[in-house]
């Protein structure tokens, strides 16, 4: 059996159901510096009804557990030895549709409960209708899966002065990344450079990182309505 044939044989209805359950298990919003999963939602409520300019308004993003079906699929997708042909691509697309259908039907109540618990903190104030699972993306994330924001604290006296030091941000970022790859945290690098009197770091206060890339993304179209008070 070739690697491509092995991949095809893995894309079964049974594994699609396991993947659907894995998505439900990861449906949570982790509020920490390096979350494993997050939920983004974008909608407004007016007069008890949802007002949204976007059809897809709720997105789950997460990184897969190592021993999960979705992780196994991801490993196969990223394997350079596997060369997908039309048959494999079509089967993979169909596999994702099976997962979406399961979430819309068999696991609809569980999905709604997950949204209630994680988007609205289980307040019970909303009627939630899953219109559609728009898309399920499974893809390899880049080695650096976050964005970086450098916070600077520059006194007004310096801001208004012609003697304000010129800082090359690209040099600063390169230095931060080089030291970070050696095992230092970004803020430890800042502390170290300040102790060394490095002029590039004189007014650098801290570095904030935001995780931006995940291995799996589930895009939902959801109708939110405030429950009528009896």
**Residues 136-148: tens digit of each pLDDT:** 999 998 888 888 8
Global pTM exceeds 0.75: yes
Give the bridge partners for 44, in sequence order: 51
Per the structure, the complete domain to which residue 97 belongs is given by 3-140+214-226
The residue written with tokens 């999905």 in the block is: 111
Residues 38, 103 within the same domain: yes
Residues 19, 39 within the same domain: yes
Cβ–Cβ under 8 Å, residues 32 and 53:
no
Mean residue pLDDT across the chain: 86
Cβ–Cβ under 8 Å, residues 70 and 77:
no
Residues 114, 158 within the same domain: no
Domain tally for the chain? 2
Question: CA–CA distance from 187 to each of 144, 205, 207, 225 (Å)?
Answer: 17, 8, 6, 44
- Least confident stretch, 74-78, 91-95, 162-166: 162-166
Residues 93, 16 within the same domain: yes
Residues 82, 169 within the same domain: no
Residues 41, 129 within the same domain: yes
pLDDT for 176-225, tens place per residue? 999 999 999 999 999 999 999 988 888 888 998 888 899 999 999 888 77
Radius of gyration (Cα) for the chain, nearest Å?
23
Residues 125, 156 within the same domain: no
Residues 220, 203 within the same domain: no
């Amino acid at each position: 059996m070739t690697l491509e044939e092995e991949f095809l044989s893995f894309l079964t209805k049974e594994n699609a159901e396991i993947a659907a359950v894995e998505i439900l298990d990861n449906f949570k919003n982790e509020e920490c510096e390096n979350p494993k999963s997050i939920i983004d939602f974008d909608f407004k409520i007016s007069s008890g009804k949802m007002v949204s300019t976007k059809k897809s308004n709720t997105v789950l993003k997460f990184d897969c557990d190592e021993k999960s079906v979705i992780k196994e699929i991801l490993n196969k997708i990223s394997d350079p030895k596997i060369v997908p042909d039309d048959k494999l691509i079509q089967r993979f697309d169909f596999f994702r549709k099976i997962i979406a259908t399961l979430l819309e039907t068999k696991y609809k109540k569980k999905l709604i409960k997950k949204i209630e618990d994680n988007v609205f903190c289980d307040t019970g104030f909303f009627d939630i209708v899953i219109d559609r699972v728009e898309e399920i993306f499974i893809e390899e994330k880049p080695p650096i899966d976050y964005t970086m924001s450098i916070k600077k604290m520059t006194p007004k006296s310096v801001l208004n002065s012609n003697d304000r030091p010129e800082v090359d941000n690209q040099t600063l970022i390169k230095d931060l990344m080089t030291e970070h790859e050696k095992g230092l945290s970004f803020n430890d690098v800042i502390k170290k450079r300040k102790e060394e009197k490095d002029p590039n770091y004189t007014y650098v206060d801290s570095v904030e990182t935001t995780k931006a890339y995940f291995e799996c993304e589930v895009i939902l179209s959801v109708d939110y309505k405030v429950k009528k008070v009896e």
